[in-house]
Amino acid sequence: MNVAEVFERQAMQSPDRLAVRWRGQEASYRDFLKMVLLLAGRLQEAGIGPGHRIGNTVSNPVSNMALTLAIAHLGAVSVSLPTPVSAESLEATGRASGMTHLVHARETPFDNSVVPPARQFSFAALSAKPEAGLRVPPLAQMEAHDLWRITLSSGTTGAPKGIERSHGGSCQLPVLTRGLIPTGPQDRVLIAMDVAMNFAVHHSLRALYSGACVLLPQDLKAETVLKAIHEEGATQLVTTTGVALSLARLAQDPASSYHRPAPSLKVMNAGGAAVSPQLTALLREHVCPDLYINYGAAETGLVAMSDAQLQARDPACSGRLVPWIEAQATGEDGKPLPTGQVGRLRFRGAGLATRYCDGSGAEAFEDGWFQSNDIGRLTLSGLIYLDGRENEVLNLAGVKIDPARLEAVIQQDPAIIESAAVLLKDALGGPVLVAVVVAPGGPVDAEALKERCARALGVHARPKAVITVPSLPRNDAGKIQREVLRRKMRLGTPDKAEPA
Q: Is residue 300 part of a domain?
A: yes
- Whether residue 430 is predicted with pLDDT greater than 80 in this model: the reply is no
- Whether residue 41 is predicted with pLDDT greater than 60 in this model: the reply is yes
pLDDT, average across residues 459-470:
91
Looking at residue 188, its amino acid is: R
- Whether residue 285 is predicted with pLDDT greater than 90 in this model: the reply is yes
Could you tell me if 440 and 409 are in contact, meaning their C-beta atoms sit under 8 angstroms apart?
no
Average pLDDT, the chain: 89
Lowest mean pLDDT among 15-29, 302-316, 469-483: 469-483
In the three-class reduction of DSSP (H, G, I as helix; E, B as strand; rest coil), residue 375 is classed as: strand
- Other C-beta atoms within 10 Å of 338: how many? 10
- Whether residue 494 is predicted with pLDDT greater than 50 in this model: the reply is no
- Whether residue 355 is predicted with pLDDT greater than 90 in this model: the reply is no
Q: Are residues 448 and 338 in the same domain?
A: no
- Whether residue 495 is predicted with pLDDT greater than 50 in this model: the reply is no
Q: Are residues 48 and 180 in the same domain?
A: yes
Q: Are residues 488 and 355 in the same domain?
A: no
pLDDT band at 160 (very low <50, low <70, confident <90, very high): low
Could you tell me if 188 and 215 are in contact, meaning their C-beta atoms sit under 8 angstroms apart?
yes
Q: What is the pLDDT of residue 351?
A: 86
CATH number of the structural domain spanning residue 435 = 3.30.300.30
Q: Which of 183, 216, 249 is the last residue of a domain?
A: 216
Q: Which of 193, 216, 239 is the last residue of a domain?
A: 216
Number of structural domains found in the chain: 3
pLDDT band at 155 (very low <50, low <70, confident <90, very high): low
Q: What is the pLDDT of residue 157?
A: 53
Q: Is residue 227 part of a domain?
A: no
CATH number of the structural domain spanning residue 13 = 3.40.50.12780
Q: What is the pLDDT of residue 161?
A: 77
- Whether residue 213 is predicted with pLDDT greater than 90 in this model: the reply is yes
Calpha distance 354→468 (Å, rounded): 42
Q: Which of 349, 368, 389 is the last residue of a domain?
A: 389
pLDDT, average across residues 160-181:
89
Could you report the per-residue pLDDT of 231-275, keeping only the tens digit for each?
999 999 999 998 999 999 899 999 999 999 999 999 999 998 888
Q: Is residue 28 part of a domain?
A: yes
Cis peptide before 130 (omega within 30 of 0): no
pLDDT, average across residues 423-429:
78
Q: Are residues 144 and 22 in the same domain?
A: yes
Q: Are residues 441 and 303 in the same domain?
A: no
408 or 70, higher pLDDT? 70
Could you report the per-residue pLDDT of 43-88, keeping only the tens digit for each?
999 999 998 999 999 989 999 999 999 999 999 999 988 777 777 7
Cα angle, residue 372 at apex, residues 369 and 378 outer, rounded to 5°: 85
- Whether residue 401 is predicted with pLDDT greater than 80 in this model: the reply is yes
pLDDT, average across residues 404-429:
88
Q: What is the pLDDT of residue 56?
A: 93
pLDDT cut 70: percent of the chain above it: 95
Q: Is residue 406 part of a domain?
A: yes
- Whether residue 321 is predicted with pLDDT greater than 70 in this model: the reply is yes
pLDDT, average across residues 25-52:
95
Q: Determine the distance from the C-alpha atom of residue 120 to the mean position of all C-alpha atoms in its chain, rounded to a whole number.
A: 28
Q: Is residue 245 part of a domain?
A: no
Q: What is the pLDDT of residue 390?
A: 77
Sequence-distant (6+) residues with CB within 8 A of 293 are 241, 270, 271, 275, 280, 305, 306, 311, 319
Q: What is the pLDDT of residue 436?
A: 93
CATH number of the structural domain spanning residue 340 = 2.30.38.10
Q: What is the pLDDT of residue 487?
A: 83
Q: Are residues 41 and 149 in the same domain?
A: yes
Q: Are residues 363 and 434 in the same domain?
A: no
Q: Is residue 261 part of a domain?
A: no
Which of 352-356, 414-418, 427-431 has the highest mean predicted lDDT (pLDDT)? 414-418
Task: Report CA-CA distances (Å) from 497 to 113, 330, 402, 406, 444.
Answer: 43, 38, 20, 18, 14
Q: What is the pLDDT of residue 120?
A: 92
Of the candidates 199, 167, 113, 153, which has an alpha carbon nearest to the alpha carbon of residue 364?
Answer: 153
Q: What is the pLDDT of residue 107?
A: 86
Q: Are residues 431 and 372 in the same domain?
A: no
Q: Are residues 44 and 125 in the same domain?
A: yes
Q: What is the pLDDT of residue 392?
A: 78
Calpha distance 372→345 (Å, rounded): 6
Which of 108-112, 321-325, 429-433, 442-446 has the highest mean predicted lDDT (pLDDT)? 321-325
Of the candidates 89, 102, 91, 100, which has an alpha carbon nearest to the alpha carbon of residue 55?
Answer: 102
Q: What is the pLDDT of residue 491?
A: 62
Q: Is residue 121 part of a domain?
A: yes
Q: Are residues 113 and 47 in the same domain?
A: yes
Domain extent for 99 = 3-216
pLDDT, average across residues 489-494:
57
- Other C-beta atoms within 10 Å of 396: how many? 16
Q: Are residues 328 and 189 in the same domain?
A: no
Of the candidates 261, 257, 259, 326, which has an alpha carbon nearest to the alpha carbon of residue 289?
Answer: 261
pLDDT band at 357 (very low <50, low <70, confident <90, very high): confident
The torsion angles phi and psi of 171, rounded to 5 degrees, stand at: -75, -35
User: Would you list the DSSP string of 1-44?
Assistant: --HHHHHHHHHHHSTTSEEEEETTEEEEHHHHHHHHHHHHHHHH
Of the candidates 148, 144, 145, 150, which has an alpha carbon nearest to the alpha carbon of residue 163?
Answer: 150
The torsion angles phi and psi of 315, rounded to 5 degrees, stand at: -65, -20
- Whether residue 500 is predicted with pLDDT greater than 60 in this model: the reply is no
- Whether residue 122 is predicted with pLDDT greater than 80 in this model: the reply is yes
Q: Are residues 23 and 112 in the same domain?
A: yes
- Whether residue 323 is predicted with pLDDT greater than 70 in this model: the reply is yes
Q: Is residue 326 part of a domain?
A: yes
Q: What is the pLDDT of residue 429?
A: 73
